[in-house]
C-alpha cells in the first residue's frame, strides 16, 4: 500500500499564515493606544468644520454674515437678516419697484416673507469671539459676557467725574483707582471739567423744559396721523410723503415729508434721513406762532428723539421750512421707508397774541 502524502508542508504553510496574522494583530495592538488621541483630534476638527459649515448655511443672503436679531426668509427659503430685509424693502420703495430676493428674485414683502425662528435659535447657539478677551461664547450669552463678565472689557475710572480720562481693562481698574491722583486735586484744578459737565446737563434739560413750556400753553392739541407715500409728476418720480388734512387749533393742516432733502439718487447712499414741514391750508387772519413736535404715538413704533420746532404762520407764509425728523440712525429711516405707511403723533401748541 502506498503511504499517504506527508502534511508537514501544509502544516508549515498554515502555521506561517497564522503566525503572520498573529504578527499583524500584535502590531495592531501596539498602535491601538494612539487611536483615542487621533479620534479626539478628528472630533475637534469635525466640530470646527461643522460650525463653519453651519455659519455658511445660516448666513444672510445679502450681507453674508450671521444674523444678530430676527431672520426672514423668502417663499423659497433664502435667509435675510432683519437689517438687510428692511434695506431691500426701503430701496424698492425709493426706486418705485417691487422688492425681490437677491438669490431667486421672487417677490418679498412684509406679508410674503416669514420669520424663521428655528434659524434664529440655531444662530444664537453658535459660538462667537469676544471682541475684548478673544474667548468663544454662544451668541445668546455673548452680550452679557461683554457687558458684565469679561475681565478685559474697557471701563472708566470712578473719578472720571473729576476729569480722570483713564480707560482700561476691568481687571486693572482697582489698581488704577488706588493710584489715581484726581481725588487729591484742588477745586480750582477740577473746576473747568465740572463746568463742562454742567453745560452738558443744561443742554440735556433744555428739551425737557421746552416740552413743559408747550404743555402750559392755552391752546394745545394732539393728532394721530399717517404719512402715505406718493410720487411727483416730474420726469424723475421722486418719493415724498403727505398726510390727509386734519383739524387742529381751529385750522386745517397738512404735513409733507421728503427723503434726503430731495437728493437725486438716494438709493445710492446708506445715509438716509427724512425731513418734514407743517402747512396750514386755511389762511390765518392774524400771525400765529405754532410749536410742534413729532412723537411715536400709540399706533406706530417709530423711534424719534423729542425735538420741538416752531414757526410763525401768516397770511402770506403758510408753509414752515423743512425740519429734520429726529431719527436715531439710517436703519430707523429704512424701517420707515419699508413700511406701507408711517404712523406718528403730532403735538401742537399755539401762543395767542
Q: Given 216, 243, 258, which residue is the final one in a domain?
A: 216
Pairing of strands 251-259, 239-242: antiparallel
In the chain, what is the greatest distance between 2 CA atoms, to the nearest angstrom?
A: 148
Please report which confidence band the pLDDT of residue 42 belongs to, taking 50, 70 and 90 as the band edges. Answer: low
Position 254 pLDDT exceeds 90:
yes
pLDDT digits (tens, 9 = 90+) for 305-346: 888 999 999 988 999 999 999 999 999 999 999 998 999 999
- In the chain, the number of structural domains is 3
Please report which confidence band the pLDDT of residue 214 belongs to, taking 50, 70 and 90 as the band edges. Answer: confident
- Could you tell me the CATH number of the domain that includes residue 270? 2.60.210
In a domain, 88, yes or no: yes
Distance CA 130, CA 145 (A): 8
The verdict on 126 and 225 lying in the same domain is no
In a domain, 337, yes or no: yes
The pLDDT of residue 80: 95
Looking at 96-212, which runs of residues are DSSP E strands? 114-115, 127-129, 136-138, 154-156, 167-169
The verdict on 235 and 330 lying in the same domain is yes
Nearest residue to 342 via CA among 247, 207, 198, 240? 240
Position 146 pLDDT exceeds 50:
yes
The verdict on 61 and 117 lying in the same domain is yes
Q: Given 122, 149, 176, which residue is the final one in a domain?
A: 149
pLDDT digits (tens, 9 = 90+) for 65-100: 989 889 999 999 999 999 999 999 999 999 889 999
The verdict on 272 and 180 lying in the same domain is no
The verdict on 205 and 238 lying in the same domain is no
The verdict on 191 and 296 lying in the same domain is no
Mean pLDDT of 271-282: 94
In a domain, 330, yes or no: yes
In a domain, 4, yes or no: no
The backbone region for 105, taken as left when phi is positive above 0, alpha when psi lies in -120 to 50, beta otherwise, is left
Mean pLDDT of 160-186: 90
Mean pLDDT of 178-193: 87
The verdict on 119 and 170 lying in the same domain is no
In a domain, 271, yes or no: yes
351/187: higher pLDDT: 187
The verdict on 203 and 106 lying in the same domain is no
In a domain, 162, yes or no: yes
Of the chain, the percentage scoring pLDDT greater than 90 comes to 53
In a domain, 157, yes or no: yes
In a domain, 43, yes or no: no
The verdict on 225 and 343 lying in the same domain is yes
Please report which confidence band the pLDDT of residue 1 belongs to, taking 50, 70 and 90 as the band edges. Answer: very low
Length of the chain: 353
The verdict on 174 and 272 lying in the same domain is no
The pLDDT of residue 163: 86
Angle between helices 82-95 and 330-338 (to 10 degrees): 60
Range of the domain at 272: 217-351
The pLDDT of residue 282: 87
The verdict on 210 and 222 lying in the same domain is no
The pLDDT of residue 46: 58
Q: Given 181, 216, 251, which residue is the final one in a domain?
A: 216
Please report which confidence band the pLDDT of residue 235 belongs to, taking 50, 70 and 90 as the band edges. Answer: low
The verdict on 228 and 198 lying in the same domain is no
Please report which confidence band the pLDDT of residue 135 belongs to, taking 50, 70 and 90 as the band edges. Answer: very high
- Could you tell me the CATH number of the domain that includes residue 84? 3.30.40.10
Amino acid at each position: 500500500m502506498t503511504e499517504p502524502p506527508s502534511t508537514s508542508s501544509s502544516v508549515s504553510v498554515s502555521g506561517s499564515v497564522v503566525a503572520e496574522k498573529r504578527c499583524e494583530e500584535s502590531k495592531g495592538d501596539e498602535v491601538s493606544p494612539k487611536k483615542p488621541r487621533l479620534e479626539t483630534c478628528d472630533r475637534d476638527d469635525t466640530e470646527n468644520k461643522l460650525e463653519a459649515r453651519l455659519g455658511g448655511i445660516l448666513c444672510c443672503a445679502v450681507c453674508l454674515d450671521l444674523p444678530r436679531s430676527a431672520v426672514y426668509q423668502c417663499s423659497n427659503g433664502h435667509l435675510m437678516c432683519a437689517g438687510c430685509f428692511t434695506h431691500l424693502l426701503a430701496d424698492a420703495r425709493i426706486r418705485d419697484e417691487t422688492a425681490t430676493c437677491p438669490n431667486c428674485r421672487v417677490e418679498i414683502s412684509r406679508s410674503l416673507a416669514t420669520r424663521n425662528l428655528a434659524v434664529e435659535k440655531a444662530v444664537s447657539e453658535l459660538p462667537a469671539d469676544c471682541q475684548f478677551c478673544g474667548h468663544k461664547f454662544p451668541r445668546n450669552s455673548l452680550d452679557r459676557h461683554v457687558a458684565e463678565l469679561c475681565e478685559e472689557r474697557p471701563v472708566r475710572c470712578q473719578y472720571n467725574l473729576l476729569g480722570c480720562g483713564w480707560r482700561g481693562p476691568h481687571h486693572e481698574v482697582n489698581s488704577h483707582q488706588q493710584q489715581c491722583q484726581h481725588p487729591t486735586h484742588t477745586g480750582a484744578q477740577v473746576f473747568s471739567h465740572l463746568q463742562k459737565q454742567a453745560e452738558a446737563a443744561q443742554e440735556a434739560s433744555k428739551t425737557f423744559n421746552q416740552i413743559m413750556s408747550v404743555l402750559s400753553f392755552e391752546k394745545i392739541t394732539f393728532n394721530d396721523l399717517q404719512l402715505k407715500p406718493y410720487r411727483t409728476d416730474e420726469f424723475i418720480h421722486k418719493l415724498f410723503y403727505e398726510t390727509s388734512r386734519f383739524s387742529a387749533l381751529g385750522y386745517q393742516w397738512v404735513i409733507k415729508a421728503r427723503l434726503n432733502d430731495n437728493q437725486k439718487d438716494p438709493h445710492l447712499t446708506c445715509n438716509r434721513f427724512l425731513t418734514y414741514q407743517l402747512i396750514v391750508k386755511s389762511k390765518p387772519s392774524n400771525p400765529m406762532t405754532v410749536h410742534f413736535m413729532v412723537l411715536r404715538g400709540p399706533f406706530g413704533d417709530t423711534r424719534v428723539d423729542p425735538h420741538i420746532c416752531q414757526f410763525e404762520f401768516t397770511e402770506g407764509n403758510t408753509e414752515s421750512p423743512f425740519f429734520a425728523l429726529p431719527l436715531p440712525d439710517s436703519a430707523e429711516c429704512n424701517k420707515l421707508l419699508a413700511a406701507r405707511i408711517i404712523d406718528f403723533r403730532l403735538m401742537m401748541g399755539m401762543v395767542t397774541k
